Structure 1
Amino acid sequence: MTARVRARVDRWFARTPAIALAVLLPVGAVTPLFPVELGVAVFALATLAVGMAHGAVDHLVPLRAAGVSARRSFAAVGGVYAVLGGAVVVGFALAPAVAFVGFVALTWVHWGQGDVAALAIAGVDHLPTTAERGLAAVVRGGLPMAVPLLAHPGEYRLVAEWTVGLFLPDAATSAAVDPLFALAVRVAVAGIMVGATLASVGAGYLRVRGGASRRGWLRDAGEVTVLWAWFLLAAPVVAIGVYFALWHSLRHVGRLVLLDPAAERAIEIGNLRGALARFARDAAPLTLGGFLVVAAVGLAVPRGPAAGGVIAAGDALAVSLVAVAALTLPHVAVVAWLDRRQGVWRSGAFG
C-alpha cells in the first residue's frame, strides 16, 4: 500500500464524511423536535444505503488478508456467523434486557475498534501504545452509545422498550428496562465518558509535547468534538442512523478496499467509482442475505410483525436491531481477527 493510496482512502472515507457530519450539526439540533418515526426512516435508509453492506464482505477477509483459499475463507466466516449470530438470537429470547445491554456494549467496542483502525490508516503517531489506543476506542465507541443516554434518555428508553418488548409482555418490559435508566447509571456513564475523553485528549497532547505530530492529534480531538456535539444535539435514532452510514460504515469500507488489489489500483489512479463498484459487487449477495436475516427475525420473534396487526415503526426498528445484533457479534470477531493480523493494537507508531 502506497502513501498516496492510504491518504486518498483516509480523505474519501474518513475525513470528508467527518466534515459532512460537522456540517449537519444544525440539522441534527432540530431533530428532537420531530417524531421518532423520522429517526426510524433515517435509520432504515442508512441501513439500506451503506450499513448492511459494510459487513457483507467479511467472507473475503481471510482470503485477502491472509491468502487462505476461498473455500476455507467462506467456510470459516460462515461458521462464525452461524454460531455467534444464532447465539445472539437465543440470548434475546432468553434474557432480552441483558441481551440489549450486551448489544450496546458490543457496539461500543466495535465502533471504537473501527475508529482506531481508521486512525491507523491516517498514520497518526500520538497513540503509540496499546493502552492509549484502547482509551481512544473507549471514547470513540462510547460517544454513539453513551452520549444519547445522557442527552436524550426518553427516546433511548423507548428504543429499549421496543426491542425488549418483542419478547416480553408490556408490563414486564417496563420493569426489565428500569435499571438501565436509573440516575446512578447515567451519572456513572457520564463520568466514564467525560473522564475518558479528557484522559485521551490529554495523553495525546503530552505525546505532541514530546514530538508527536500536532496535526494528527488535532484531527483526533476535532473528530471527538464533532461526535460529542452530534450525539448531544441530535435525536438518538437519527444520530445513530446517520453515524452508522456516514461515519462507521464508510470507514470500514475504506479499510476493506485496501484489501482488494484491484480496488487499491483504482484508488492509486484516483478512480473512486471503480473501487466502490468492486466493493458493491462483492458485497451484494450477503447484503441481500442480511435483509433476509431481518425478515427471518421479524417472523420469529413472539411479539413482532408476524404476531398480527399493523406493523408499527417501533416494531420495524426493534426487529432490525435484533437482526443487526445477530450480525454484529460475528462481524466483530472477523474484524478483531483482521486487527490482530494488521497489528492495529500493537505498541509502536501506526504506519
Structure 2
Amino acid sequence: MDTWSRETTVGRLTMTLPLVVIALAIPFGVVIDDLPQAVRFAPFVVSVGLFGLPHGAVDHLMPLRLGNVPLKRSLAVVGVVYAILGGLYLAVWALSPAVALLAFLGMTWFHWGQGDAFALRAFGGGDHIRTRSDRWASLVVRGGLPMLVPLLGQPEGYQRVVNGIIELFDPASTTALSPLFRVDTRLALGIGFGVFTLSSLLWTARHVWKADTSAGGLAWDAVEIGLLWLFFWLVPPVFAVGLYFAVWHSVRHIGRLAIVDPAARQALDSGEWPTALGRFYRDAAPLTVASLALFAGLYVWVPTDGSLNALLAIYLVGIAVLTLPHVAVVTWMDQVQYEKSRITDRQ
C-alpha cells in the first residue's frame, strides 16, 4: 500500500477537507433542532447522488483493478456476492427487524472503522498504525465514534431513528432494543468507550516513544478523534451521521478507489482532481442507478406514511442491504492492500 502525505492533493481532499467541514458543522448542534426537518435530513438527501450512495458503486471493478482478473469475471464475482449477501440480509429484515438493525449498527461500526484506519495509514501520515493490533484498536475507536457517541450524547434522537426503522416491519419489536437507551447502559458504554479511546492512542503511541515514527500522524489522529467525539456528542444524530457518511467516510473511500485506478491516480498526482472525480462518477453511475431501483422496490414493498422520517428509514434499510456485500468487498481490499504494504502483522 503506497502512502500520500496530508499535503498532497489526495491528502487534502480526503483528510483535511472532511475535517474542516465537520468542524464548521459543530455549531449546528446548538440550533439545528430549531430548523426545518428538511435541513436536518439534507445530508442524507445529498448523499444519494453526491458521495454517499455512489462510493460503494465501484465495487464491481475492484477485482479487476486489485486482482488483475478479467472484467467479466470481476463483474460476475461481485454480482454474486451482492445477490447472495444482500438477499439473505433483506430476508433477516423481514423476519427479525430488531436483529437486522443491531447487525446494521455493528456492521457499520466495523466498516466505518476499517475505512478510517486505512485512510489514516494511506493519506494521513499514520505511521503509528503499523501492526494488526494497531489497526484493530483504530478500527474500534473510529467506527464507534459515529455509531456509539450519538447514543451517549443524543439518546432521544438516536432512539427515534432506530424505532422508525424497526417500525417499518414490526412496531412491536421496538421494545427489544429499549435496554440500549437506559441511563445505566449508556453510562457503562460511555465509560468503556472513553477508556478504550484513550488506551488506543497510548497503545499506538509506543511507536513514537520507541522513535520508530514521528509524532505527527499520532497528533492528527488525536485531533480527529477529539473533534469527532465533540461533533457526535453535540449534533443531532440524523444530521451528524448523514453528514459524516457523505463528506467523511465516503470521501475517504473515494480517495481509496482513485489510487487503484491508474488514470485517476495519475490525475491526482498532477493535481487534476476534477479528472479523477469525473472518472469515479463515470464508473459509479450504473450501479448507483441500480441502487435507486432497490430503494424504489423497498418503498413499494414496505408500507409507509410517506413522511420524511419514513423515507429516511426506507433509505437506511436500503443502505443496510447494500452495506453487507460492500463490507465483504472492502474487507477483501484490505487483505490485498495491506499484504502489499508489508505491514508487520504479528501482534
Q: Is the 8 A contact 1:124 1:213 kept in 2?
A: no
1:147 alignment partner AA: V
In 1, the alpha carbon distance for the partners of 2:38 and 2:107 equals 25
Query: For residue 314 of structure 1, what is the aligned residue in structure 2?
Result: 309
Query: For residue 253 of structure 2, what is the aligned residue in structure 1?
Result: 252
Query: For residue 243 of structure 2, what is the aligned residue in structure 1?
Result: 242
Q: Is the 8 A contact 1:143 1:193 kept in 2?
A: no
- The alignment of Structure 1 onto Structure 2 pairs a total of residues equal to 341
> What SS does the aligned partner of 1:143 have?
helix
Deviations for 1:111-161, whole angstroms, at most 9, x for unmatched residues?
A: 000001101213421122211110111000000000000111111111111
Query: For residue 186 of structure 1, what is the aligned residue in structure 2?
Result: 186
In 1, the alpha carbon distance for the partners of 2:184 and 2:293 equals 39
Query: For residue 160 of structure 1, what is the aligned residue in structure 2?
Result: 162
CA displacement at 1:36 relative to structure 2: 4.9
1:255 alignment partner AA: R
Counterparts in 2 of 1:163 and 1:346: CA distance versus 1, 3 Å: farther
Counterparts in 2 of 1:196 and 1:274: CA distance versus 1, 3 Å: same
In 2, the alpha carbon distance for the partners of 1:335 and 1:176 equals 31
In 1, the alpha carbon distance for the partners of 2:248 and 2:199 equals 23
CA displacement at 1:5 relative to structure 2: 8.7
Q: Mean alpha-carbon deviation: is it higher for 91-100 or for 115-124?
A: 115-124
In 1, the alpha carbon distance for the partners of 2:29 and 2:81 equals 37
In 1, the alpha carbon distance for the partners of 2:174 and 2:287 equals 36
1:341 alignment partner AA: V
What is the alpha-carbon root mean square deviation over aligned residues? 2.0
Query: For residue 124 of structure 1, what is the aligned residue in structure 2?
Result: 126
Query: For residue 176 of structure 1, what is the aligned residue in structure 2?
Result: 176
Query: For residue 10 of structure 1, what is the aligned residue in structure 2?
Result: 11
Percent of pairs with identical residues:
43
Q: Mean alpha-carbon deviation: is it higher for 135-144 or for 176-185?
A: 176-185
1:39 alignment partner AA: R
In 1, the alpha carbon distance for the partners of 2:117 and 2:174 equals 36
> What SS does the aligned partner of 1:128 have?
coil
Q: Is the 8 A contact 2:43 2:246 kept in 1?
A: no
Q: Is the 8 A contact 1:5 1:267 kept in 2?
A: no
| 1:96-245 equivalences in 2 (<5 Å) | 96-122=97-123, 123-169=125-171, 172-211=172-211, 212-245=213-246
In 1, the alpha carbon distance for the partners of 2:43 and 2:261 equals 30
Q: Mean alpha-carbon deviation: is it higher for 37-46 or for 98-107?
A: 37-46
Q: Is the 8 A contact 1:108 1:138 kept in 2?
A: yes
CA displacement at 1:186 relative to structure 2: 1.4
Counterparts in 2 of 1:3 and 1:341: CA distance versus 1, 3 Å: closer
Counterparts in 2 of 1:236 and 1:36: CA distance versus 1, 3 Å: farther
In 1, the alpha carbon distance for the partners of 2:40 and 2:204 equals 35
Counterparts in 2 of 1:194 and 1:120: CA distance versus 1, 3 Å: same
Gaps of 5+ in 2: none
CA displacement at 1:187 relative to structure 2: 2.4
Structure-2-length-normalised TM-score = 0.93
Structure-1-length-normalised TM-score = 0.92
Gaps of 5+ in 1: none
In 1, the alpha carbon distance for the partners of 2:25 and 2:179 equals 33
Deviations for 1:45-98, whole angstroms, at most 9, x for unmatched residues?
A: 223321000000000000001110101100010011111111111111111111
Query: For residue 327 of structure 2, what is the aligned residue in structure 1?
Result: 332
In 1, the alpha carbon distance for the partners of 2:34 and 2:136 equals 36
Deviations for 1:297-319, whole angstroms, at most 9, x for unmatched residues?
A: 11122xx33xxxx4111110111
In 2, the alpha carbon distance for the partners of 1:72 and 1:260 equals 18
> What SS does the aligned partner of 2:27 have?
helix
